[in-house]
Amino acid sequence: MTLTLSFRPLVLALATLLLSACTTSVRVPAPVEDRSTSARAPSPVKSAPPQVVVPAPAATQETPVKAGQENAGTPGYYTVQRGDTLTRIGLDHGQGWRDLVRWNNLSNPDVIEVGQVLRVAPPGASVETPGVVVRPMQPQAPSTATTSEKEAEAVKEAAKEQANKPNLASNGMQFIWPTQGRVISKFDASNKGIEIAGKKGEPILAAEAGKVAYVGESLRGYGKLILIKHNGYLTAYGHNDKFLVKEDQMVTKGQKIAEMGNTDADGFKLKFEIRDTAGKALNPVALLPNR
């Protein structure tokens, strides 16, 4: 009885101890993670996208403004075209090339640019009514309904006779024939003057008093050419053989200025033109006396 009472506490103590051992969890240390940079796995290197280099726009060069552009299209001014020369421009506008140099302050008369605007009329001159020529009134043909064949023929003859009469030019100009040969090429829309046949060495005369504006052979189709500037007119004498005057020389009406030749021509002849101050070609026959 005594033994049983003494063993029971011991059994309870052992049971308690075993139960405590079973409920106690075994702690396993957590793995240590190395967070240092050296231990970190290298990240994949991302290549930078290619840069598209767009070139800066080239600086635009403004087209230089040609001299006199503000006067383009104004009466009395001319815009230079490809192939032009001062001599040609002067002839086409009834002026001497030296005048163009002076009016436009050109430092080099051999250098003009396409698009350049030149004054081709004297400063202060009226260009609305240049070189007015007084021409005879042409007879008006009567209505065919009331005109007989005989009257119509009379009108035709009168018109022909009137056309052959000399025309009084403005500014007192009375032109004479520059040579005495026959006219072999008449004035028309494509021919700016007339051609007069002759022989080598025949005298070429100034058709009116004036100042020699040009002596040379730079204009194609004219050969050795002389230009004389008159009061409101310009006369041209082409295909000469020998020059007898110089530029800026004053000449009198009927003065021998050259000898007939065939330069830049198919025979011995004179190419003769009359232009007004606007460069308009006039029919020389209408301004020359009968012969």
- Closest listed residue to residue 166, CA positions, set 155, 158, 174: 174
Average pLDDT per block of 10 residues along the chain, 291 residues long? 54 59 52 52 55 56 67 90 91 89 91 92 66 37 48 53 50 90 92 95 97 94 96 95 96 98 96 91 94 82
Where are the domain boundaries for CATH 3.10.350.10 in the chain? Answer: 69-119
pLDDT given for residue 68 in this prediction: 74
Where are the domain boundaries for CATH 2.70.70.10 in the chain? Answer: 164-287
Kindly tell me the sign of the dihedral angle through the C-alpha atoms of 252, 256, 258, 262: positive
Cβ neighbors of 248 (< 8 A, separation 6 or more) are 98, 211, 212
Do 166 and 290 form a contact (C-beta atoms < 8 A)?
A: yes
Rg for the chain, CA atoms, rounded: 53
Give the DSSP H/E element, type plus range, for residue 158.
Answer: helix 149-164
pLDDT given for residue 277 in this prediction: 81
- Closest listed residue to residue 275, CA positions, set 94, 78, 88: 94
pLDDT given for residue 60 in this prediction: 56
pLDDT given for residue 260 in this prediction: 97
pLDDT given for residue 129 in this prediction: 39
239: left (phi over 0), alpha (psi -120 to 50) or beta: left
Do 229 and 210 form a contact (C-beta atoms < 8 A)?
A: yes
Q: Which CATH number fits the domain 69-119, given the four candidates 3.10.350.10, 3.40.50.1970, 3.40.50.300, 3.40.50.150?
A: 3.10.350.10
Do 185 and 284 form a contact (C-beta atoms < 8 A)?
A: no
Do 175 and 282 form a contact (C-beta atoms < 8 A)?
A: no
DSSP, collapsed to helix, strand or coil, labels residue 183 as: strand
Tell me which amino acid residue 130 is: P
Architecture of the 164-287 domain: Distorted Sandwich (2.70)
- Torsion, Cα 209 210 215 218, to 10 degrees, reads -110
pLDDT given for residue 101 in this prediction: 93
Full-model pTM: 0.62
Do 237 and 222 form a contact (C-beta atoms < 8 A)?
A: no
pLDDT given for residue 242 in this prediction: 95
DSSP, collapsed to helix, strand or coil, labels residue 16 as: helix
